[in-house]
């Protein structure tokens, strides 16, 4: 089906829904690289006007990637709930935007329709929204998950403590981990990107974190971000695996490039569940995504990069994840050129994920060759804090010495919690207070008060 829109004396024609969605997308370098972006701002406006008139029902009948050739499309269609969709089935994309922003649409209403939404519907409505619209609507939709603590409660924001090391040195990682905990970070998880995929090295890191966690009774969860097949092997060998990690994308072909399928993710999910390591819940999958991953794998099929990204959230939703992380500026300026594009993408991803019922966090980041700086990250951090982000990253100095990119620091987490009045996961906050790291308000106590834990941890690490 083709779509048309007239502006003045000029009529714009869009061959199909896929083309219309791409032309309606805000400007970004990845869509330009793929050759699917609007050729002018006028064409972009025309596409938005035409998209606003498309009935939501259309997305159930016009697949952007064929059902027969893509298992993500099959997942989306087969898991769609007509009952949940009924409440909004009469709306167009433009009407849906108005409904989302209405003061009468609350968290209960958004929860009711979740199973009736497809990623394409959600991506479409986001293209009609200003940044403030994305923030306002996402803020209405908390997504709460539990493993050893509770993440995603309204008024709370958690931090993934990321103590990476370029050689996987256990003492170096332990020192960064302790540093983050002293700043009150780590309630989302303690997650290490290993420099090596060697199973013995991965197991060593898992054992180190688990030993520390048990010794000091820390109510958090650990993860070593290796390929899911390595995690399954580690589970089979009895390693203390909490969260099961995998990078995912929005098409079957892109996921195949990651060496995964829905069946393999199901196997990993069941392996993680079999350990029964959660204490307050059993959400245990940790997924990472990023706009541009499908394009970089030549697996986007002409679909714009943001819509491909939102399709990845449908994959995540299938496995009841504890955390989903859009690593928003990591892939590079070929896909998100500058701070403005990174900011927009982060707000889109958070909004779309939350609307699909996914526990969204964001690695607010950029690579050193992007047209962005730490001020851009401060802006996005603040906006996502207002929007109700589930978690952000905590990295020593905001500079990852292993992955070589810029993110957010322990101090950044203190800043956004302070200015927005955000609390940590309640179980973790109680632990910080009991360990005399923070007071009853969640504010850090002095280093002298923290000294007993510091001394004990130094002994544990074997550091004089």
Q: Express each pLDDT in 81-112 by its tens digit.
A: 999 999 999 999 999 999 999 999 999 999 99
Contact 36/43 with Cβ under 8 angstroms? Answer: no
Alpha helix stretches (DSSP H) within 237-278: 252-257, 262-275
Query: Which pLDDT tens digit goes with each residue over 306-318?
Result: 999 999 999 999 9
* Rounded Cα gap, residues 218 and 211, in angstroms: 10
Q: Is 263 exposed, middle or buried (0-12, 13-18, 19+ CB in 10 A)?
A: exposed
- Which DSSP helix (H) or strand (E) runs through 145? strand 145-146
pLDDT at 464: 47
Q: Rounded to two decimals, what is the model's pTM? A: 0.96
Bridge partners, residue 150, by sequence: 146
Query: Which pLDDT tens digit goes with each residue over 377-424?
Result: 999 999 999 999 999 999 999 999 999 999 999 999 999 999 999 999
Any residues with CB less than 8 A from the CB of 127 and at least 6 apart, and which?
21, 24, 25, 26, 48, 51, 306
- Confidence band for 452, pLDDT divided at 50, 70 and 90: low
Any residues with CB less than 8 A from the CB of 430 and at least 6 apart, and which?
219
pLDDT > 90: what percent of the chain?
Answer: 95
Is pLDDT above 50 for 42? Answer: yes
- Confidence band for 1, pLDDT divided at 50, 70 and 90: confident
- Confidence band for 460, pLDDT divided at 50, 70 and 90: confident
CA dihedral 251, 256, 257, 258 (to 10 degrees): 100
* Rounded Cα gap, residues 424 and 378, in angstroms: 19
Distances (CA, A) of 342 to 30, 351, 371, 374: 12, 14, 10, 12
305-317 vs 339-355: helix crossing angle, rounded to 10: 40
Nearest to 31 by CA among 344, 289, 288: 344
Distance of CA 376 to the CA centre of its chain: 18
Instruction: Quickly list DSSP for 104-120.
Output: T--HHHHHHHGGG--HH
pLDDT at 450: 67
pLDDT at 463: 59
Q: Looking up tokens 């609390």, which residue turns up?
A: 423
Bridge partners, residue 3, by sequence: 14
pLDDT at 461: 72
Query: Which pLDDT tens digit goes with each residue over 113-137?
Result: 999 999 999 999 999 999 999 999 9
* Rounded Cα gap, residues 222 and 265, in angstroms: 19
Calculate the average pLDDT of the chain: 96
- Which DSSP helix (H) or strand (E) runs through 103? none
Distances (CA, A) of 346 to 37, 377, 428: 19, 10, 26
Q: Looking up tokens 């892939």, which residue turns up?
A: 331
DSSP designation for 325? E
Is pLDDT above 60 for 16? Answer: yes
Is pLDDT above 80 for 153? Answer: yes
| Residue length of the chain | 464
Any residues with CB less than 8 A from the CB of 108 and at least 6 apart, and which?
none
* Rounded Cα gap, residues 144 and 196, in angstroms: 32
C-alpha angle with apex 426: 424 to 429, nearest 5 degrees?
A: 60
For the chain, the maximum distance between any two Cα atoms, rounded to a whole number of angstroms, is: 78
Is pLDDT above 90 for 453? Answer: no
pLDDT at 5: 96
* Rounded Cα gap, residues 55 and 132, in angstroms: 24
* Rounded Cα gap, residues 176 and 409, in angstroms: 12
119-126 vs 93-101: helix crossing angle, rounded to 10: 80
Is pLDDT above 80 for 199? Answer: yes
- The SS3 of residue 82 is helix
Tell me the mean pLDDT in the region 359-371.
96
Distances (CA, A) of 173 to 204, 216, 395, 459: 12, 17, 11, 15
Distances (CA, A) of 396 to 17, 183, 446: 44, 10, 19
- The SS3 of residue 165 is coil
């Amino acid at each position: 089906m083709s779509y048309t829109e007239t502006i003045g004396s000029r009529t714009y024609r869009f061959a199909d829904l896929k083309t219309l969605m791409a032309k309606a997308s805000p400007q970004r370098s990845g869509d330009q690289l793929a050759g699917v972006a609007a050729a002018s701002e006028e064409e972009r406006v025309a596409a938005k006007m035409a998209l606003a008139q498309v009935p939501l029902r259309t997305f159930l009948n016009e697949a952007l990637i064929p059902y027969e050739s893509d298992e993500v499309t099959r997942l989306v269609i087969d898991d769609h709930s007509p009952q949940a969709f009924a409440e909004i089935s009469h709306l167009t994309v433009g009407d849906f935007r108005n409904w989302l922003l209405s003061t009468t649409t609350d968290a209960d209403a958004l929860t009711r329709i979740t199973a009736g939404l497809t990623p394409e519907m959600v991506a479409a409505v986001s293209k009609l929204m200003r940044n403030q619209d994305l923030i306002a609507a996402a803020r209405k939709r908390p997504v709460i998950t539990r493993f050893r603590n509770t993440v995603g409660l309204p008024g709370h924001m958690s931090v993934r403590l990321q103590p990476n090391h370029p050689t996987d040195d256990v003492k170096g990682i332990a020192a960064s981990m302790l540093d983050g905990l002293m700043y009150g970070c780590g309630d989302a998880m303690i997650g290490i990107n290993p420099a090596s995929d060697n199973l013995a090295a991965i197991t060593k890191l898992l054992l180190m974190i688990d030993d520390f966690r048990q010794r000091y009774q820390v109510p958090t969860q650990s993860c070593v971000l290796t390929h899911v097949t390595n995690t399954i092997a580690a589970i089979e060998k009895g390693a203390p695996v909490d969260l099961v990690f995998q990078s995912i994308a929005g098409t079957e072909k892109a996921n195949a490039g990651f060496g995964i399928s829905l069946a393999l993710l199901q196997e990993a999910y069941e392996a993680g569940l079999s350990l029964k390591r959660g204490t307050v819940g059993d959400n245990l999958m940790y997924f990472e995504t990023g706009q541009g991953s499908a394009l970089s794998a030549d697996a986007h099929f002409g679909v714009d990069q943001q819509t491909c990204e939102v399709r990845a959230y449908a994959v995540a939703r299938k496995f009841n994840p504890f955390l989903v992380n859009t690593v928003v500026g990591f892939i590079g300026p070929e896909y998100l050129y500058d701070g403005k594009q990174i900011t927009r993408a982060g707000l889109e991803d958070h909004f779309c994920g939350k609307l699909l019922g996914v526990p969204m966090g964001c690695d607010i980041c950029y690579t050193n060759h992007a047209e962005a700086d730490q001020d851009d990250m401060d802006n996005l951090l603040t906006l996502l804090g207002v929007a109700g982000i589930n978690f952000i990253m905590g990295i020593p100095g905001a500079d990852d010495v292993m992955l070589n990119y810029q993110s957010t620091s322990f101090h950044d987490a203190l800043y956004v919690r302070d200015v927005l009045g955000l609390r940590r996961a309640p179980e973790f906050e109680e632990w910080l207070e009991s360990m005399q790291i923070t007071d009853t308000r969640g504010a850090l106590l002095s280093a002298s008060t923290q000294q007993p834990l510091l001394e004990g941890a130094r002994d544990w690490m074997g550091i004089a």
